[in-house]
Structure 1
């Protein structure tokens, strides 16, 4: 039997790679002679760099020390350089919300991600893939772009400080020192379709998650509006509001292309090729519900399995869908499932392999 195992991360518990490994170990404990293909998935957020790097032999990982974190403190960042010259950058590595010690919605910056990108370009990257999940800021990507040479100036011609809260003071943009985009282009990976502005925009929808109250949301909205007036571009484009408007900034200023992250990652992992020869596809995530089917990694895997006519199974931490095998049910409680997620993922893999074994026996004449 040929099985493809392609889970997303179980956020807060295990990475996609560790989840896939545990499921595989459990399966092989019951059916050791089966052929397993492991493809840890991601959708532009956590685990994107690792998933793409693992699928491309010869990829090198490069640590960049002293990047500007979202609150201004130095952090270590990392990017991957694929053999074809593509650099993969996860925004959350240097500009992610978990790096904040205290919420700072008006001053949080994406500058560190720009520094990572600059380091990748200095090393010779000819194309960029940027995963936009997990941002701490709502600065329209201006911190990132300033690290690449863009200048945002106030009425007196002085550079603005970092953060979305300062954007209302922007009066002029100087692109004369902006680094050119790499010749192979820039692809942005996101799992959201929000525009930059309005009730469904970056500030209104995601500002509260970053600590913004009503007054701060209004100020951030005004700042992003001002930015769009200066830069132009397409603030209404689906996905422009990703990562606090970073998708908009990169698209408008640098010509980046906004794409559905899960689909792009699946293509990079050559998932269709793996699924085409499979007898079963297993995917999973921490919480499986209706939203999983709308632009998320698990939904993308299920859709591709369906198009190929290959049966699929979902393993989840918990779920509102009775078809999923949940770690909570196996462990007896959500606390136990979280505490020993790898153990229960192995049990889940074994459970699915046992079911496959029994089904094969029943099918024999």
Structure 2
């Protein structure tokens, strides 16, 4: 039998790589001769680097960069040398988790470190990039990233602007004469399920600014600044990114990628599935096992298990999903290609124990499921 094991991470309990290992142990305890194809998955957010590095045989690289407040940090990204592919999560450099709650100020935080990561990968020889947008502490429209890659953001006197989203209200011109020429020969696939525009009531500042420390007055200030930024971009490139879906992702980093990079915004899970060639790996499979920490009706909004189930459904392969929690409305997933939803907890448990025992519980649940699959089918009696 052939099993494709394609789980996402089980947040705070297992990485996707660890979940694959637990699933494999469970399958082999019942079917010792089974062909288990492990494909760690992600949806473009946290864990994407590890999942793709594990699936594509890459390595993890550490680079000295600056966080959103300009402090030196070591950020990690993935690199697959034989494909000249860099896998970057912007949160590794400009992540909100790197900034203490009391220090969060989207008026001054910068995406400069993201540009430093891209520059480091270019120096390694990368020509292809997968960039996961999510978890940023910034609201600068990607201006800091552009600066790190050689662009200059100038006021009406020709002076360089300070970093941060608030300063963009004084932006007069963007000088790209020093912009890294290697970018033009590269491709960027941007993993994001955010469809928010750059500005306005559904824009980066209004929707995501409060999560990053913006009060209502600051939201208005930042939205106005990004409006100026969009106007300057339009004058330079002829492209209006202000209302473009996805431009507001990661505090407006989406806008910078769309305006200045050879970039394509894509659904995170679809991008990852294509990168690991999941469809090809499903050929001849008897079952696909997927899962993540929680499965409920929200799984339909672009989560990894749904993407895996849709891909398997096109090939007629049944999908079984495992989760630490099967939540409200999960039964709707049976209408979207799932053969079974299996909770992994063996009984009542407190959260710390459930998280700590996640791998053992997943292995046990997979083994139990495989025992059911191994039951002989008896002919119906009259």
TM-score normalised to the size of structure 2? 0.88
How far apart, CA to CA, are the structure 2 residues paired with 1:331 and 1:163? Answer: 48
- Counterpart CA distance in 2 for 1:221 and 1:138 is 9
Bigger Rg, which one = 2
Q: Deviations over 1:59-114 (max 9, x none)?
A: 3432112x101222211112333212222222111111211123222222211111
Aligned mates of 2:126, 2:302 — CA distance in 1 = 28
- What does 1:252-331 correspond to in 2, within 5 Å? 252-318=259-325, 319-320=327-328, 321-322=330-331, 324-328=341-345, 330=347
Distance apart, 1:326 and its partner CA: 2.4
The question of whether the paired residues in 1 share the 8 Å contact of 2:324 and 2:343 is answered with yes
Change in 2 beyond 3 A, CA 1:182/1:110: same
Q: Please give the secondary structure, in 2, of the residue aligned with 1:216.
A: helix
For the Cα contact (< 8 Å) 1:141–1:246, is it kept in 2? yes
Shift of 1:261: 1.7
Match for residue 335 of structure 2?
none
TM-superposed deviation, 1:125: 1.6
1:330 offset after TM fit, Å? 4.4
* Equivalent position of 1:101 in the other structure: 100
**CA 1:110–1:23 in structure 2 vs 1: closer, same or farther (change >3 Å)?**
same
Displacement of 1:209 in angstroms is: 2.2
* Displacement of 1:352: 1.9
Matched, 1:362 2:377: yes
Residue of structure 2 in register with 1:341 after alignment = 358
| Residue 64 of structure 1: aligned partner | 63
Could you list the structure 1 runs, at least 4 aligned residues long, displaced by more than 6 angstroms after superposition: none
Q: CA deviation at 1:335?
A: 4.1
Change (3 A) 1:86 1:364: farther
Instruction: Please give the alpha-carbon distance, in whole angstroms, between the structure 2 residues aligned to 1:104 and 1:364.
Output: 68
- Number of aligned pairs? 361
Partner SS for 2:185: coil
Superposition pairs for residues 1-365 of structure 1, below 5 Å? 1-57=1-57, 59-65=58-64, 67-82=65-80, 83-102=82-101, 103-180=104-181, 181-232=183-234, 233=239, 234-318=241-325, 319-320=327-328, 321-322=330-331, 324-328=341-345, 330=347, 332-358=349-375, 361-362=376-377
Q: TM-score, normalised by structure 1?
A: 0.92
Q: 2-side partners of 1:63 and 1:363: how far apart?
A: 57
Q: 1:175 to 1:129 in 2, by over 3 A?
A: same
CA distance 1:331–1:354, change in 2 (3 Å): farther
Distance 1:140 1:363 in 2: 63
Residues 186 and 256, structure 1, Cα contact 8 Å, conserved in 2: yes
Deviation at 1:238, TM superposition (A): 2.2
Q: Is the 8 A contact 2:107 2:139 kept in 1?
A: yes
CA distance in 2, matches of 1:108, 1:19: 35
Could you tell me whether the CA contact under 8 Å between 1:41 and 1:265 is conserved in 2? yes
**What secondary structure sits across from 1:80 in the alignment?**
strand
The alpha carbon displacement at 1:281 in A equals: 0.9
Q: CA RMSD in A?
A: 2.0
Post-superposition shift, 1:295? 2.2
Deviation, structure 1 residue 355 = 2.2
Q: Secondary structure, in 3 states, of the residue corresponding to 2:377?
A: helix
Gaps of 5+ in 1: none
Contact preservation (8 Å) 1:125, 1:182: no
CA deviations 1:223-262 (Å, max 9, x no partner) are: 2211111112333232222111101111112232212221
Contact kept, 8 Å, 1:6 with 1:284, in 2: the verdict is: yes
